[in-house]
Amino acid sequence: MEQSQRGAAADASFSNSEHSERPEHSEQVEPWWRGAVGYEVYVRSFADSDGDGVGDLLGIAGKLDYLEWLGVDVVWITPFYPSPGHDHGYDVSDYCGVSPRHGTLADFDTMVAEAHDRGLRVMVDIVPNHTSIEHPWFVSARCDPSGPDRDRYIWADPAPGGGLPNNWLSHFGGPAWTLDEASGQYWCHLFLPEQPDLNWRNPAVRDDFDSILRWWMERGVDGFRFDVAHGMVKDEQLRDNPQIAPLKDDMHPFEAFAAFEHRHDLDQLSNTEIFERWKRVCGPDQVLLLGEANAPWPDGMARYVAPGALDQAFFLRTAIMGWSPELLVQMVRSMHDAAPEGVSWVLSNHDRPRPVTRFGGGEAGLRRSLAMSVLLMALGGTPFIYQGEELGLPDGVLRGGSHDPVEIRDGCRTPMPWGSGACNGFSAGTPWIDSEPRPDEQTVAGQRRDPDAPLHRYRSLLAARKQHPDMWRAPLRWLDSADPQVIALRRGGVAVVANLSPAGTVFQLDSGGWQIVYQSRDACSIIPAGDGDVLSIPAETAAVLKTL
């Protein structure tokens, strides 16, 4: 495809001379996502093409050359649908449209076509657990308690003595129920009151989402990310959840939520029926079905990706937790073994502080985060990078007030820093979120000039994965380590060793000669020894090796 045909949105500084044609599904022998690496675009903060301060679809189109240059294969775009924006797009009022903030359907088509021209796949975010309070289904359900739309949502009478129907809480604070004064019934919402939960026991809801998936597939999308996939079906009797810890007044909403065992509001076994149905709607291996399934690990998670259900589920613990090497090692090993191809490994997303910040900040946070990125790229499933992770960004520093109902998510949502200037090239206008500009060394432009920058580390890591497909394709065997903070694996002719401990160490390699093909930060070395080489590996560093 000629450069000129790819549309004005392309960013010339990242243009590459060759682009693959649109992927041909019929030639494939295995699903396209085998071996792929994903990239999450938080649409509001990625790139603003029209200067209104909010990221948009043409902004994404303009950065596809960058994503291709980086070496990712699929882009997941967070919700861009019409929405009143109480939860930044995760409160959808029309599942088959585009919010004017983010562009038009024609922009969407342009962006998808330009992605496909480069061999990049596109995934969209479907929010099936809840709609917006402004969705016509909810408006009708609320206005007409005896009408056909009422049962699309979960309504309950007050408890026998009056008051809330049960003890369920919202993730975002307070009860999961809001009273509709006109009808005297409460509606259920596991998030904000403006995000009423759908009733997935209602066949009309199931049918409508089949149509929504078909609508986006017809527009050429290659996959779906399902928001809160673990929350859709609720206990039919709406029973109380068992409380497992006391509630305190000053608790963050997430802590209060964690004070209950979510036996009746989350992770119901019949969620799986919905995924099986979606798999039938979407076909076996053309469209990736990837769920946000925040279920107990490893076995609860594994259920979501059992044969016939979702293709993959995000394992969110590694995107939530602080630096805890032994726990990380245990989690990675047990979660991998429970679902070797079914886990999409992530170090960050738009919902939690960035890993550099979570892992201690500064150089230590960066070193730890880069080491973890190597490990997660070698585990099977489709790993996803969250925008800016490849720059080793710490959380952005806010100047204005919080925009987030739970406050902790602003820092990872500040604009993507492309270059210099007051908003780092994100927008020609005033960004929707006011934050300190990033210094040059945290920007894409600044890092492109510095061969040691995290951006080049990530790019080389993705290139190593492509060059040595054993790294994700060959069967995985864990290698023994005496240190519980060291995790190592062998896949065919590739070995990956991650030393998460605060001290340098040596690791005995399998017999035969080895060569280092990638190291996360500080230099590793191979010390030849009689019965097999030894890898000398600094603290909090990971390396990829191949047999000679």
Q: Which residues bind ligand GLC (CB under 6 A)?
A: 87, 90, 127, 191, 227-228, 292, 350-351
Tokens of residue 11, six digits:
């960013």
Q: Which is nearer to ligand GLC, 348 or 443 (CB)?
A: 348
Q: What's the min distance (Å) between Cβ of 40 and ligand GLC?
A: 10
Q: Provide the pairing of β-strand 155-156 with 494-499.
A: unpaired
Return the axis-axis angle of helices 362-376 and 454-467, rounded to nearest 10°: 10
- To the query of whether residue 395 is one of the catalytic residues in this protein, the response is no
CB 356 within 8 A of CB 322: no
The nearer residue to ligand GLC, 208 or 470, going by C-beta atoms, is 208
Whole-number minimum distance, CB 355 to ligand GLC, in Å?
A: 16
Helix (H, G, I), strand (E, B) or coil at 474: coil
* Token pair in block for residue 229: 């996939």
State the minimum distance, in angstroms, from the CB of residue 274 to ligand GLC: 17
The answer to whether the beta carbons of residues 352 and 408 sit under 8 Å apart is yes
Q: 227 an active-site residue?
A: yes
Closest approach of ligand GLC to the CB of residue 383, in Å = 17
Q: Residues 227, 404, 533, 540: which is the catalytic one? A: 227
Which residue of this chain has its Cβ atom nearest to ligand GLC in the complex?
90
Q: What are phi and psi of 20, to 5 degrees?
A: -75, 155
Residue type present at position 149:
D
Distances (CA, A) of 147 to 135, 137, 224, 336: 16, 11, 31, 47
CA dihedral 172, 438, 315, 382 (to 10 degrees): 140
Count Cβ atoms below 10 Å from residue 476 Cβ, excluding itself: 18
Which residue in the list 292, 311, 389, 540 is annotated as catalytic?
292
Write out the DSSP string of 420-448. Answer: SSTTTTS-SS--SS-BPPPPGGGSHHHHH
Q: What is the largest CA-CA distance in the chain?
A: 82
Closer CB to ligand GLC, residue 350 or residue 438?
350
Our CB check for ligand GLC shows the closer of 292 and 311 to be 292
- Beta carbon nearer to ligand GLC, 44 or 468: 44
Q: Least Å distance between CB 319 and ligand GLC?
A: 10
CB of residue 79 to ligand GLC, shortest distance in Å: 8
Report the residue number, 118 or 189, with the smaller CB distance to ligand GLC: 189
Supply the DSSP string of 517-533, one letter for each residue: EEESSSPPEEE--TTS-
198 DSSP β-pair partners: 153
Report residue 363 as tokens. 């150089």
Active site residues: 227, 292
